[in-house]
Protein backbone atom coordinates (compact mmCIF):
# COMPACT_ATOMS: atom_id res chain seq x y z
CA UNK A 1 0.00 0.00 0.00
CA UNK A 2 2.62 2.55 1.09
CA UNK A 3 5.92 2.53 -0.73
CA UNK A 4 9.06 3.01 1.37
CA UNK A 5 10.18 6.64 1.21
CA UNK A 6 13.67 5.78 -0.05
CA UNK A 7 12.14 4.46 -3.22
CA UNK A 8 10.52 7.84 -3.86
CA UNK A 9 13.78 9.66 -3.31
CA UNK A 10 15.70 7.40 -5.65
CA UNK A 11 13.24 7.89 -8.47
CA UNK A 12 14.79 10.84 -10.27
CA UNK A 13 12.50 10.64 -13.29
CA UNK A 14 9.64 12.13 -11.33
CA UNK A 15 10.00 15.47 -9.58
CA UNK A 16 9.57 15.14 -5.80
CA UNK A 17 6.02 15.68 -4.64
CA UNK A 18 6.82 15.44 -0.93
CA UNK A 19 9.93 16.01 1.15
CA UNK A 20 10.68 14.87 4.73
CA UNK A 21 11.57 17.69 7.11
CA UNK A 22 12.25 17.87 10.87
CA UNK A 23 9.76 19.92 12.83
CA UNK A 24 9.95 20.92 16.49
CA UNK A 25 6.77 21.16 18.56
CA UNK A 26 6.88 23.39 21.61
CA UNK A 27 4.35 23.52 24.49
CA UNK A 28 3.00 20.05 23.74
CA UNK A 29 0.41 19.26 26.43
CA UNK A 30 1.08 16.14 28.52
CA UNK A 31 -2.02 14.45 27.11
CA UNK A 32 -0.61 14.68 23.58
CA UNK A 33 2.91 13.55 24.43
CA UNK A 34 2.24 10.03 23.17
CA UNK A 35 2.82 8.30 19.88
CA UNK A 36 -0.82 8.89 18.97
CA UNK A 37 -0.82 12.47 20.19
CA UNK A 38 2.35 13.47 18.39
CA UNK A 39 1.09 11.81 15.21
CA UNK A 40 -2.11 13.81 15.52
CA UNK A 41 -0.15 17.06 15.82
CA UNK A 42 2.20 16.13 12.98
CA UNK A 43 -0.58 15.07 10.63
CA UNK A 44 -1.81 18.68 10.57
CA UNK A 45 1.34 19.50 8.58
CA UNK A 46 1.85 16.36 6.53
CA UNK A 47 2.57 12.68 6.83
CA UNK A 48 4.46 11.86 10.06
CA UNK A 49 7.48 9.61 9.50
CA UNK A 50 9.26 9.24 12.79
CA UNK A 51 10.42 11.17 15.84
CA UNK A 52 13.84 11.49 17.34
CA UNK A 53 15.07 9.34 20.17
CA UNK A 54 14.72 11.97 22.91
CA UNK A 55 11.09 12.59 21.94
CA UNK A 56 10.30 8.90 21.95
CA UNK A 57 11.98 8.23 25.30
CA UNK A 58 10.65 11.51 26.77
CA UNK A 59 14.12 12.48 27.92
CA UNK A 60 13.73 16.04 26.64
CA UNK A 61 10.31 17.48 27.31
CA UNK A 62 10.77 21.10 26.22
CA UNK A 63 10.02 20.19 22.63
CA UNK A 64 9.10 17.20 20.51
CA UNK A 65 10.98 16.60 17.29
CA UNK A 66 9.12 14.86 14.50
CA UNK A 67 10.06 14.07 10.92
CA UNK A 68 7.16 14.92 8.62
CA UNK A 69 6.71 14.48 4.91
CA UNK A 70 5.39 17.75 3.50
CA UNK A 71 3.81 18.42 0.13
CA UNK A 72 4.56 21.13 -2.42
CA UNK A 73 1.52 23.11 -1.30
CA UNK A 74 2.33 22.78 2.42
CA UNK A 75 1.58 25.76 4.61
CA UNK A 76 3.97 26.35 7.48
CA UNK A 77 1.83 27.50 10.41
CA UNK A 78 3.76 28.67 13.48
CA UNK A 79 1.10 27.41 15.89
CA UNK A 80 -1.58 24.74 15.96
CA UNK A 81 -4.69 24.63 18.12
CA UNK A 82 -6.03 21.47 19.73
CA UNK A 83 -9.15 20.97 21.75
CA UNK A 84 -8.43 18.78 24.75
CA UNK A 85 -10.98 16.50 26.37
CA UNK A 86 -11.51 18.80 29.33
CA UNK A 87 -12.63 21.56 26.99
CA UNK A 88 -9.31 23.35 27.20
CA UNK A 89 -7.59 24.64 24.08
CA UNK A 90 -3.94 23.74 23.69
CA UNK A 91 -1.71 25.79 21.43
CA UNK A 92 1.33 23.96 20.12
CA UNK A 93 4.08 26.17 18.71
CA UNK A 94 5.79 24.89 15.60
CA UNK A 95 9.42 25.48 14.70
CA UNK A 96 10.78 24.45 11.31
CA UNK A 97 14.42 23.51 11.06
CA UNK A 98 14.17 23.83 7.28
CA UNK A 99 11.46 24.79 4.82
CA UNK A 100 12.12 23.13 1.45
CA UNK A 101 11.74 25.57 -1.43
CA UNK A 102 8.83 24.55 -3.62
CA UNK A 103 7.19 25.96 -6.73
CA UNK A 104 3.40 25.88 -6.77
CA UNK A 105 3.42 26.85 -10.45
CA UNK A 106 5.39 23.75 -11.52
CA UNK A 107 4.02 21.65 -8.62
CA UNK A 108 7.48 20.49 -7.56
CA UNK A 109 10.28 20.98 -5.03
CA UNK A 110 13.76 22.24 -5.82
CA UNK A 111 13.24 25.99 -6.15
CA UNK A 112 10.79 28.62 -4.98
CA UNK A 113 8.05 30.23 -7.04
CA UNK A 114 10.12 33.44 -7.06
CA UNK A 115 12.99 31.60 -8.81
CA UNK A 116 10.71 29.63 -11.13
CA UNK A 117 12.14 29.32 -14.65
CA UNK A 118 8.77 28.37 -16.15
CA UNK A 119 6.56 31.04 -14.64
CA UNK A 120 5.36 33.58 -17.24
CA UNK A 121 7.00 36.97 -16.79
CA UNK A 122 4.81 39.66 -15.30
CA UNK A 123 4.65 42.16 -18.12
CA UNK A 124 1.85 44.00 -19.91
CA UNK A 125 2.04 41.64 -22.91
CA UNK A 126 -0.77 39.17 -23.66
CA UNK A 127 -0.48 35.69 -22.11
CA UNK A 128 -0.02 33.93 -25.47
CA UNK A 129 2.98 36.08 -26.41
CA UNK A 130 4.59 35.46 -23.01
CA UNK A 131 4.30 31.72 -23.41
CA UNK A 132 5.82 31.72 -26.90
CA UNK A 133 8.73 33.85 -25.70
CA UNK A 134 9.37 31.62 -22.72
CA UNK A 135 9.58 28.41 -24.75
CA UNK A 136 11.39 29.84 -27.79
CA UNK A 137 14.24 31.67 -26.08
CA UNK A 138 14.77 30.89 -22.46
CA UNK A 139 17.18 33.69 -21.39
CA UNK A 140 18.83 31.45 -18.78
CA UNK A 141 19.65 28.69 -21.26
CA UNK A 142 20.84 31.20 -23.85
CA UNK A 143 23.26 32.78 -21.37
CA UNK A 144 24.66 29.43 -20.26
CA UNK A 145 25.18 28.28 -23.86
CA UNK A 146 26.97 31.50 -24.70
CA UNK A 147 29.22 31.24 -21.61
CA UNK A 148 30.19 27.66 -22.49
CA UNK A 149 30.91 28.60 -26.10
CA UNK A 150 33.08 31.53 -25.01
CA UNK A 151 35.19 29.44 -22.62
CA UNK A 152 35.69 26.77 -25.25
CA UNK A 153 36.89 29.35 -27.74
CA UNK A 154 39.38 30.87 -25.30
CA UNK A 155 40.82 27.43 -24.45
CA UNK A 156 41.41 26.61 -28.12
CA UNK A 157 43.05 29.93 -29.03
ZN1 LIG B 1 7.91 26.78 -11.29
pLDDT score, position 151: 46
Question: For residue 25, how far is its CA from the centre of ligand 1 (angstroms)?
Answer: 30
Question: For residue 124, how far is its CA from the centre of ligand 1 (angstroms)?
Answer: 20
- Going from N- to C-terminal start, the domains of the chain cover 5-103, 120-156
Question: For residue 84, how far is its CA from the centre of ligand 1 (angstroms)?
Answer: 40
Ligand 1 (single-atom ion) residues, CB below 5 Å: 103, 105-106, 116, 118
pLDDT score, position 86: 79
Tell me the pTM.
0.66
Question: For residue 156, how far is its CA from the centre of ligand 1 (angstroms)?
Answer: 37
* Cα–Cα distance, 26 to 62 (Å, whole number): 6
- Each residue's pLDDT, cut to its tens digit, for the chain (157 residues) gives 444 444 444 445 567 789 999 999 999 999 899 999 999 999 999 999 999 999 999 999 899 999 999 999 999 999 999 998 878 999 999 999 999 999 999 999 999 999 999 988 766 555 554 444 444 445 554 444 444 444 444 444 4
Amino acid sequence: MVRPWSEDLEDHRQPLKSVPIWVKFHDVPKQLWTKKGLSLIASRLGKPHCWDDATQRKTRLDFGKVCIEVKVYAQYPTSLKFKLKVGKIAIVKVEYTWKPPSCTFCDRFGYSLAKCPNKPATTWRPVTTQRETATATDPTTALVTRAVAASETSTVS
